[in-house]
Structure 1
C-alpha cells in the first residue's frame, strides 16, 4: 500500500517474481506512472478499471499471469500507450472496433495466448505506428482485414485461431501486406484458411519466417518463394499442396528449417537443395515424392535432423548423407522403396541419436562400421531383407534404448552382448531366422520389452517366451566321464583357492586391527596414484584463479597435466574439517566399484604431504567444460539451457541413479543429489559427482554407530525422513532427484525465500498443475521463447511440463514408500522425450 504514496513514481517494474493476488487498483492513483511491468508473476483477477486514470502511461506489461475477465472500458482511454504486452493470461471478450484509433501511438500489441474472440477490428489498417501484432492462440474468427496502412509492421502472428471462412479468397488480405516492407515474421498456421499461395509472395523481401501449416492451402508451391533471399524458416506442413517442389527453393541461402510434410507433393527432391548449406532441419515426410535421394544433400553439412519418410523414393542409399557429421537428432528414411545395402562409411554419424530405415527393400549384411554410431539410442531396421549374423560391431552401441530388427532374414545366434546393454528397453528380433539359445540377461528378462516371435530355430530363454527347451549337446553325452573328472579337478582347485583366501584373510586381519580403511593402503592397492608435486604444478600452486568451486569438505581446482596436457579437476580435501577424511574414503570406495556414462569418471588419487609437511589428500577427475548444473540455473541470464537440454540432463541423472540403485552390483546410495553435484561436459551430458556421502546399502544396515550417517544431503534436497534420524536409503536419493527435477523446470531453488510458512517447492508445483503449469514453469523456457505461439508449440510444452512435474512430485512425496521408482521415472522421461522428438518433426520447434 505504501506504493500509492509515491506520487512521483514513473516506473513500476516487478517483472518475474512470485507475486500473488490481484493487480492493485491503487496503481490508478499514481498518475505519474509511465510504465507498469509486472509480467511473470501469479496475479489473478481482472485488470483494474482505475488504470484508465493513468494519462501518462506508455507501457503496460502484464504477461504470464493468470488475469481474467475482459478489458475494462476505461483502458481504451489511454491514448498515450505505445506498448501493450499481456500474453499468456485468460482474458476474454472481443476487441472494440476502434481500438487502433484509440491507441494512435501503439508500437506493440501482444495479447496472444488468451481466450479472446470475435473479429480482428478493421481499424487495424490505421495503426501506422504498429510494429508488432501478436493475436496468436486465441479464438478470433472471420475474415482477416486489410493491413494496408501498417508500413512499419515487423511481426504478425495470427496462428492458432479460427480465422478464415474456408473459401478460396481467404488469403486476399496478404496483398495488403506488400505495403509492410519491414515485415520479418508472418505466422498464419492452424486456422481455417483455404486458397492458394499467391505468386507475389516473392515480393516480401525482408521476410525471415513464414508459417502457414495446418490449413487447407492447395495448388502448387509458387516458384517465387525462392526470391525471398532472407527466408530462414518455411513451414507449409499439413495442407493440400500438390505439384513438385520448385527448384527455386535452392536459392534460399539463409534457410535453416524447411518443413513440407503431410501434403500431396510429388516428383523428385530438387538437386538445388544441395545449395542449402545452412539448413538444420529438413522435413518432407508423408508426401508422394519419388525418384532417388539426391547425393547433393550431402552438401548440407549443417543438418541436425532429416525426415523424408513415407514417400516413394527408390534406388540406393546415397553414402553422402551418411557423411554429414552434424546429423545428431534423427535421420528417418523409413517407409519408402529403397534398395541395396547399407553404405560402409558410417563413421561420421557418431552423434546421431535416432536412425530409422524400416519398411524399405534394403538387403545385405550390416557393415562393421555400424559400431561407429556410438550415440544411437533408437535404431529401426525392420521390414527389410537384411541377412547374416548381427555384426559384432553393434556391441559398441551401448546407449541403445530401442532396437528393432524384425521382419528380416538375420541368421545365427542372438549375440550375448544385447543382454548387457543396460539402457535397452525395447528389443524386437521377431520374424527372422535366428537359432540357438536365447540369452537370459538384461532386456531378455522382461517379457514386455523383448520379442523373438517366429524364429523357429530358437530355444531356451525365459519361460514367458514359450520356446522349447534347448537340446543337450551330443558331444557332452559322449564325454560324461571327462566332464566328471574335470568337475573333481575344479572342486579341488576351488578348495585350494578357498584355503589360500582364508589364510590371506587371517594375515590381513592380524595386520589391520581397525575396521576403518587406510587411505594410503587403499590407493596403493586399488588406485593409480599421482604425486602432490604434479598436482601442485598442474593447478599453478592451487591458485585462486584455478579454483572451480568450494564445498564443506573440499576445494576443486582446474589443472593441466604436463605429460599429456590433460585438463583435470582436482578435488582437495579440507582435512581440518571433521568428517573430511571419511568423506574421501567413502568417495574412493564408491568410485572404484562403479562405472557409468552418467557418473563422473575417477582418474586417480593422491595421498601424500604438501611442501609444509601437512597431510594432503585429493581425488582427480576429468574437467567438465560446462561446469555444474548449478552454474546454469543460478546464472540463467547469461546461461540458458533449452527444454531439450534440461530433459536430457534429467534423463542422465535418473539413469545414473537407476544404475547406482539397481545395476551396480551392490546398491549404492548417493545421499547428496543436487544441482552443484551434477557436472556437464562439452556435449551437455550430465555426470553425477561427489560421492563423499555415498553409502552401500549393506554399509548403511550394518554401521549403526557410524556418526557420519547423520550427514545425508543438503537442506532443501535432503529427504524429510533424514531429519528424524532414518537411515540413508535409495528412497532418499529419489526424493532429492524429484526436487532437482522440479527446480530444473521451474527455475526455483527449494530454499528460495518464497518458500516459507511451510510452503515447499513440492507443494508449490502440486497446487499449480495442471491448470497453471505454464505459469510456474521457468520463464526463460516459456515467456522468453523465441518461437512463442508458433505451430502449437505451447501445447507441446504444456504437455511436457505437466508430465515432468508429475514425475517430480511423485518422486518427492513425503512418505518414502509413496515415491516413484527410479526405473519407472527413467521410462516416463524417455516417453516425454520421444513425444518431443516426434512432435517437433511435425511442428518444427527448433527453439526447444
Structure 2
C-alpha cells in the first residue's frame, strides 16, 4: 500500500507510519473537516491492513469484514467492487476499481513520460494526478491507490445511488425538479473548480451522466478522471491537442471531434448536454431522436424552444408541478453551453452563476 503522491516536496514520508501519513501535506487541515476526517479513517484502515503486502482480495474476504466483495460495475478498464470495511466497530463502505496492468507505484506513474505509458496506466496516472490531489464536495474522492503485481486498485468513496444516468433510467429514487436543479448546480460547481480554481487547470474530457455519481443525499460527484488532462501553466489560453478523440458520443464537443483540439469549453459543451438530459429526461443516443427531424438532442431542444409549445421538451414526469418556467430557463442555458463556436459558450463559472440565479 502506498500513499498518493503529494506535490513536490523535499522529503518523502513513510507509508508504514500512520503519524507520517497524517502529517502528509495532502491531508493537512483534515481535522477541521468531518468529511476529510471520515475519509482519513478509511484510508488509515486500509494502510494498516495492507502494509504487510497483504492482497486486497485476501483482506476483503477476511472474517472481520461483514460481507464479501460485491461487483457493482464493469467497464473497459475492469470491474468496480463494493467492500464494507470495519473501522473502530463501524462499517464503512468503499468502492474499489480494479485495473489489470503491470505494476508501478504512484511515484513512478507520475514521473514517467505519459506518452510511454499504456493507456490504462495513463488512466491510473490521471486519477492520481487529479482527484488524488484535489478536494471539492462535488468531485469523487480517490482515497488510496494500491499497486499489486498484476493489477492496480483505486479506492474511492462509495456512492450508494450510483450514476445519474442509472438513476434517471430506472426512475428510482425519483428525481423531482428541485433535486435535478441542485444536481446541475453541483456539477457546475465541480466543473468551475476544475477549470478556474485548481491549478493546473483540469479538463475532464468525458463529462456525462454516467460519470456523475450521487451520494446518499443525491448530491452529485464528478467521477472517472481517467481521460482528464492537466493544462500546463503556459497553456492556460488556447486549445490542447490530442492524438485521438476521447469521450462519449453525444457529449463530445464538435470542435474536438473535428479538429482533435479541446479546451475547457469542450467540457462546457458536455455540461450543456447534461442540462438538456436533466430537463427532457432523454439522453443523446436515445432511439427517440432517430425519429425526429433534428436527429440529436440539442437540435431537438432548440426547435422545441422556438415552437408554439416549448414545454413539449420537458420530461413528462415533471410537467404540472409549477416549475416549467425554471426548466425552460435551464434549457436555454443548455443551448448557450452547446453553441458550435466554443468562444460563444459561457465559462463553467458563468454557467453556474446563471443556474444560481434561477429561483429554487
TM-based fold match above 0.5: yes
Pick 1 or 2: higher relative contact order, CA cutoff 8 A, min separation 6: 2
Per the alignment, residue 779 of structure 1 pairs with 316
> Which is helix-richer, 1 or 2?
2
Partner of 1:152: none
SS of residue matched to 1:548: strand
Among 270, 291, 299, the alignment partner of 1:763 is: 299
Partner-residue secondary structure (3-state), 2:213: strand
Equivalent residue number for residue 126 of structure 2: 586
- The answer as to 2:226 corresponding to 1:692 is yes
Aligned mate of 2:204, from 664, 670, 680: 670
2:159 is matched with: 624
Change over 3 Å in CA distance of 1:713–1:699 after alignment to 2: farther
Partner residue of 1:555 out of 75, 79, 102: 79
Aligned to 1:251: none
Q: Distance in 1 between matches of 2:272 and 2:139?
A: 18
Aligned to 1:736: 270
Report deviation, 1:830: 1.2
1:603 aligns with 2:143: yes
Q: Are the equivalent residues in 1 in contact too, given 2:85–2:93 (CA < 8 A)?
A: yes
Distance across 2 between alignment mates of 1:575 and 1:728: 28
Residues 549/539 of structure 1: CA separation in 2 closer, same or farther (3 Å cut): farther
The separation in 2 between residues aligned to 1:732 and 1:540, in whole angstroms, is 43
Among 254, 260, 269, the residue aligned to 1:720:
254
Match of 1:416 in 2: none
Q: How does 1:138-537 map to 2 (within 5 A)?
A: 530=47, 531=50, 533=54, 535-537=56-58
Counterpart CA distance in 1 for 2:208 and 2:272 is 10
> What is the SS of the residue equivalent to 1:829?
helix
User: Residue 754 of structure 1: SS of its match in structure 2?
Assistant: helix
Aligned-pair CA distance for 1:698: 1.5
**Alpha-carbon deviation of 1:639?**
3.5
Considering only CA atoms, is the larger Rg found in Structure 1 or Structure 2? 1
Contact 1:671–1:712 (CA<8 Å) still a contact in 2?
yes
Give the Å deviation of 1:554: 3.1
CA deviation profile, 1:460-497 (whole Å, cap 9, x unmatched): xxxxxxxxxxxxxxxxxxxxxxxxxxxxxxxxxxxxxx
**Is the CA contact (8 Å cut-off) linking 1:605 and 1:618 kept in structure 2?**
yes
CA contact (8 A) 2:255 2:262 kept: no
Structure-1 separation of matches of 2:304 and 2:262 = 31
Q: CA deviation at 1:821?
A: 1.7
Q: Relative to 1, partners in 2 of residues 1:645 and 1:707: Cα closer, same or farther, differing over 3 Å?
A: same
The residue number in structure 2 matching 1:802 is 328
8 Å contact 1:718–1:736 — kept in the other structure? yes
Residues 548 and 709 of structure 1: CA distance in aligned 2, closer, same or farther (over 3 Å): farther
Which residue in 2 is equivalent to 1:546? Answer: 70
Mapped to 2, the partners of 1:710 and 1:660 lie a distance apart of 22
**Alignment correspondent of 2:18:** none
Matches of 1:672 and 1:719, distance apart in 2: 10
Matched, 1:831 2:357: yes
Shift of 1:563: 3.7
Quote the offset at 1:781 in angstroms.
Answer: 1.2
Q: Which residue of 1 aligns with 2:244?
A: 710
| CA distance in structure 1 between the aligned counterparts of 2:201 and 2:312, rounded to whole angstroms | 39
> How far is the alpha carbon of 1:734 from its aligned partner?
0.3
Note if 1:633 corresponds to 2:162. Answer: no
User: What does residue 109 of structure 2 align with?
Assistant: none
Tell me if structure 2 keeps the 8 A contact 1:555–1:573.
yes
> Cα distance 1:654–1:729, how it changes in 2: closer, same or farther (>3 A)?
same
Partner of 1:494: none
State the distance in 2 between where 1:726 and 1:688 align.
Answer: 23
What CA deviation, in whole Å up to 9, does each residue of 1:298-327 have, x standing for no partner? xxxxxxxxxxxxxxxxxxxxxxxxxxxxxx
User: Take 1:660 and 1:640, find their aligned partners in 2: how far apart are those partners?
Assistant: 29
Q: Give the TM-score, by structure 1 length.
A: 0.32
Compared CA separation, residues 538 and 744, structure 1 to 2 (3 A): farther
For residues 662 and 803 of structure 1, the distance between their equivalents in structure 2, rounded to whole angstroms, comes to 24
Structure 1 residues 99-138: aligned runs within 5 Å: none
Deviation readout 1:578-625 (Å, 9 max, x if unpaired)? 51111011110112332111111221110122xxxxx21011111111
Structure 1 or 2: more strand by fraction: 1
Unaligned 5+ segments in structure 1 are 1-499, 505-523, 610-614, 783-787, 837-848
Q: 1:739 to 1:778 in 2, by over 3 A?
A: same
Distance 1:607 1:748 in 2: 39
Q: Which whole-Å deviations, capped at 9, do the CAs of 1:649-699 have from their partners, x for residues lacking one?
A: 000000000010001122110111111111111111111111111111128
Residues 793-831 of structure 1: per-residue CA shift (max 9 Å, x gap): 54xx22111100001111111221111221111111111
Distance 1:544 1:748, change over 3 A: farther
Check conservation: 1:716, 1:750, Cα contact below 8 A. Answer: yes
Q: Which residue of 1 aligns with 2:191?
A: 657
Listed one character per residue, the Cα deviations across residues 336-372 of structure 1 (whole Å, up to 9, x for unaligned) are xxxxxxxxxxxxxxxxxxxxxxxxxxxxxxxxxxxxx
Superposed displacement of residue 525, structure 1: 11
Q: Structure 2: how far apart are the matches of 1:588 and 1:831? A: 35
Aligned to 1:754: 288
